Amino acid sequence: MNGLAVICRRVVQIYRAEGGDVVALAGVDLEIAPGQKVALVGPSGSGKSTLVALLSGLMRPSAGRVQVGLVDIGKLTDAELARLRGTDIGVVLQGANRNLLPYATLEENLWLAQRRARKVRPADVEPPETIAGLVGLLGSGHRRILDLPPGARQRAALAVGLAASPGLLLVDEPTSQLDHDARDEVLEALDRVNRERGTTIVAVTHDPMVGEAFGRVVTIRDGRVGAEGRGGREFAVVAGDGTVQLPPAMLESYPPGTLFTVDDTDGTVTFEAER
């Protein structure tokens, strides 16, 4: 299986409300290569879940372009978006039970999740036991979801998201409310999926261990990409309009409206605040 690339260009998302419009995303620029694992972090209300909803086609951007693979999400019909989620994009919502039929077995849940893919590209659909084994649940296909412990239930939700062998897996808070052992099992399952299938994985998380395990961490702040972490280093990111967000800790010393002179000498960029 091959992972799908993700490209966001100046993505804006506005929610209409009685008290006034709410800007959830204010010009997101982001590129994810096929087969990468990326953790989206940031404070509540920063726009992380909105971005994932756009990538999954559950919403369309108010402006800008969201591309998954070769497909521009904003140009698809509702039927085409539903087909995409049933084949090429796997979505795992926050809270395992939201993704599963609790009184059905794991195998029955997987067969149900594969129904569209079996019609569109049956040769690519793997048997439920293979998918279950991929997330460490080999031999559990006959068990009801209700009978699985929390960690196994979360991995069952991952299995359902992977049932159609998607090129992009979107996961919202995959380790929320799990103990350390269960969290590590989920992270190991995600790593195995990425390593063995080449699946591109994007996860929304508040768990620093997820970011550390993924290697690439994108911070969403005030509806934009505020920073990016790679290999343990933190980087500021230049947005499409040329703006750069300062780290939150610096805002106390340099509040909004602070004037800077910017100098680029021999590849070294310096900012000097006007006092």
Domain range summary for the chain, segments of one domain joined by +: 34-58+75-250
**pLDDT on residue 265:** 85
Please give the DSSP secondary-structure letter assigned to residue 238.
B
Question: What pLDDT is attached to residue 164?
Answer: 93
CATH superfamily of 34-58+75-250: P-loop containing nucleotide triphosphate hydrolases (3.40.50.300)
Average of pLDDT values for 80-108? 93
**How would you classify residue 139: left for phi > 0, otherwise alpha for psi between -120 and 50, otherwise beta?**
left
User: Can you tell me the distance from the alpha carbon of 233 to that of 118, in angstroms, rounded to the nearest whole number?
Assistant: 43
Query: Which pLDDT does position 1 carry in this prediction?
Result: 55
Residue 166 has pLDDT above 90, yes or no: yes
Of residues 157 and 269, which shows the higher confidence score? 157
Mean pLDDT of 7-23: 89
**DSSP-derived pairing of the beta strands 168-172 and 89-92:** parallel
> pTM above the 0.75 mark?
yes
Residue 186 phi, psi (nearest 5):
-65, -45
> What confidence tier does 65 reach under pLDDT thresholds 50, 70, 90?
very high
Q: Is 257 left (phi over 0), alpha (psi -120 to 50) or beta?
A: left
Sign of CA dihedral 203, 208, 213, 218: positive
pLDDT exceeds 80 at position 144:
yes
CA distances from 27 to 47, 205, 238, 240 (A): 11, 21, 12, 8
